[in-house]
Amino acid sequence: MELSRLSMNQITADNYSLREVAEACESEGIKWIGPWRHKVAETGLKESVKIIQQAGLKVSGLCRGGMFPAASKAERMANIDDNRRAIDEAAELGTDVLVLVCGSSPNRDIDAARGMVEEGIETLIPYAEQANVKLAIEPLHPMFAADRSVIVTLGQANDMVERLVSSQVGVVIDVYHVWWDPRLYDEIKRAAGHIYGFHVNDWSVPIENTLTSRGMMGDGVIELTRIRHAVESAGYNGPVEVEILNSDLWKMPYKEILKRTKQTFLEHV
């Protein structure tokens, strides 16, 4: 698809600084970036804003808020506070999207953890509204249900968005997390009007590490173009982030990572 919609999610070049990635984006004609909070913290928020502006980049979204469930009320409140800071950072960086990776269960009671996620997001809505930042729930692949996100299907995220009845809350669709779902295309349709982000990469067998084995676009089995068309038919025409956690890719020079990102994006999405 067209280069103008490519956004470089910073974790795709996680070993490099925001400045390096931003400057390489500029060289490659990439117009968007998706920073992560740990990289922004490393560089400093004000400096990050400056770097992004100087490179002529727009910010597609900030990764990430979320991680709501915790064993005690005090910890859950601390998590909410941290999410407020994430909302502030998103606003400061000039994006209206905060990606939420919702967190795992502190014990075996997964239903309770799901309740904590919903309660956490609900609590954040007024603050997010004031900051003009959307809370974008990213359902993760079910293989992360125990350690990263009890929100594991787009259907479940859509249910939550419907219950919360606020245009402040929506979803991010990442192909890696949802491609396997027999209900995918129905749920993409249902998400129309509250899709706040779209992430691409690929699923390449074998998955040697659940977190860091993601493939480059075209390396795996995901029907990227089909899913992209469905997301567009549901009304989303914003930036498309390339988000690839891959330990081999991370070892490459960042200029090479960006070149490959751009090339495979143009060819396969």
Using CB under 8 A as the criterion, which residues of the chain lie in contact with a copy of itself when the complex forms?
105, 107-110, 114, 141-143, 145-147, 152-153, 155-156, 159, 179-183, 203, 205-210, 220-223
Structure tokens at 242: 């390339």
Q: Which is nearer to a copy of itself, 31 or 190 (CB)?
A: 190
Name the minimum Å distance from CB 171 to a copy of itself.
15
Q: 85: how many CB neighbours lie within 10 A of its CB?
A: 12
Name the minimum Å distance from CB 147 to a copy of itself.
5
- DSSP-derived letter for residue 104 is -
Name the minimum Å distance from CB 163 to a copy of itself.
13
Contact between 158 and 181 under an 8 Å Cβ cutoff? The reply is no
Q: Which is nearer to a copy of itself, 41 or 146 (CB)?
A: 146
Q: Which is nearer to a copy of itself, 167 or 209 (CB)?
A: 209
Q: Which is nearer to a copy of itself, 33 or 113 (CB)?
A: 113
Name the minimum Å distance from CB 109 to a copy of itself.
7
What are the CA-CA distances from residue 147 to residues 104, 126, 160, 180 (Å)? Answer: 5, 28, 20, 20
- What is the pairing mode between strands 62-66 and 58-59? unpaired
Q: Is the peptide bond before 206 cis (omega within 30 degrees of 0)?
A: yes
Name the minimum Å distance from CB 245 to a copy of itself.
15
What are the CA-CA distances from residue 50 to residues 23, 29, 44, 173 (Å)? Answer: 12, 18, 10, 29
Q: Which is nearer to a copy of itself, 212 or 263 (CB)?
A: 212
